[in-house]
A and B are shown apart, each in its own frame.
Chain A
Amino acid sequence: MKPRYLKPFIFIAALLPLARLGWKAYNSALGANPIQVITWSTGTWTLVFLMLTLSITPLRKLTQQYWLIQYRRMLGLFAFFYGCLHFLTYIWLDQFFDVHSMLKDIAKRPFITVGFTAFVLLIPLALTSTQRSIRWLGKRWQMLHRLIYVTAVLGVIHYIWLVKADLRKPLIYAAILSVLLGYRILTWTVNRLSRDLQSTPQSATLKNRSAVAD
Chain B
Amino acid sequence: MLFKKPSDVPSSEITPPSRYLNRRSFIAGAAALMGTAASGLAFKRLVKPTEDVIAGTKLQYKQGQYGTSEKQTPFNDITHYNNYYEFSTDKYEPAELAKNFNTRPWTIKVDGLVSKSQTFDIDSLMKLQLEERIYRMRCVEGWSMVIPWIGFPLSTLLNQVQPNSKAKFVEFTSLHDPKRLPGQQRGVLDWPYVEGLRMDEAMHPLTILAVGLYGETLPNQDGAPIRLVVPWKYGFKGIKAIVHIKLVDYQPTSTWTKAAPNEYGFYSNVNPNVDHPRWSQAKERRIGEFTKRPTLMFNGYGDQVASLYNGMDLKKYY
Contacts and interface: CB of A to CB of B under 8 A. Distances in A.
Contact of A96 (B35, B141, B275, B282): B35
A94 B45 CA distance: 17
B31 A97 contact: yes
A212 interface: no
A32 B287 contact: yes
21 contacts: A25-B42, A28-B45, A29-B50, A32-B77, A32-B288, A33-B91, A33-B285, A33-B287, A35-B285, A35-B290, A92-B35, A92-B39, A95-B292, A96-B35, A96-B290, A96-B291, A97-B31, A97-B35, A100-B24, A111-B278, A165-B260
Contacts of B80: 31-32
A28 B48 CA distance: 6
Interface string A21-53: 000011011111111100000000000000000
A109 to B, nearest CB: 6
A109 B277 CA distance: 8
B259 interface: yes
Interface string B147-179: 000000000000000000000000000000000
A214 interface: no
Contacts of B46: 25, 28, 30, 34
A108 B42 CA distance: 32
A93 B39 contact: yes
A199 B278 CA distance: 51
Contacts of B48: 28
Contacts of A162: 278
A124 interface: no
A161 interface: yes
A93 B291 CA distance: 8
What bracket does the count of chain A residues touching chain B fall in? 20 to 34
B24 A166 contact: no
A104 B80 CA distance: 32
B106 interface: no
B25 A33 contact: no
Contact of B280 (A34, A36, A99, A101): A101
Contacts of A97: 23, 28, 31-32, 35
Contacts of B189: 165
Given A28-B47, A32-B49, 11 more contacts: A26-B45, A28-B45, A29-B50, A30-B46, A31-B80, A32-B288, A35-B290, A95-B292, A110-B278, A111-B279, A165-B188
Contacts of B188: 165-166
A160 B288 CA distance: 27
A97 B28 CA distance: 6
B47 A34 contact: yes
B81 A32 contact: yes
Most chain-B CB neighbours within 10 Å: which of A99, A109, A164? A164
Contacts, number: 82
A143 B218 CA distance: 59
Contacts of B24: 99-100
B89 A166 contact: yes
A35 B189 CA distance: 27
A99 B31 CA distance: 12
B259 A105 contact: no
A170 to B, nearest CB: 12
- The 10 A-B pairs with the shortest beta carbon distances in the complex, nearest first, are A32-B81, A166-B89, A32-B77, A28-B48, A97-B32, A34-B46, A97-B28, A99-B24, A96-B291, A32-B287
Contacts of B244: none
A109 B276 CA distance: 9
A33 B43 CA distance: 11
B35 A104 contact: no
Interface string B83-121: 001000101100000000000000000000000000000
B283 interface: yes
B278 A96 contact: no
Interface string A85-118: 0000000111111011100110011110000000
Contacts of A99: 24-25, 28
Interface in B284-298: 285, 287-288, 290-292
A161 to B, nearest CB: 6
A106 to B, nearest CB: 11
Given A93-B39, A96-B291, A165 B85 contact: yes
A31 B92 contact: yes
B50 to A, nearest CB: 6
Contacts of B285: 33, 35
A160 to B, nearest CB: 11
A109 B24 CA distance: 22
Contacts of B77: 32
B292 A96 contact: yes
A198 B153 CA distance: 82
B191 interface: no
Contacts of A26: 45
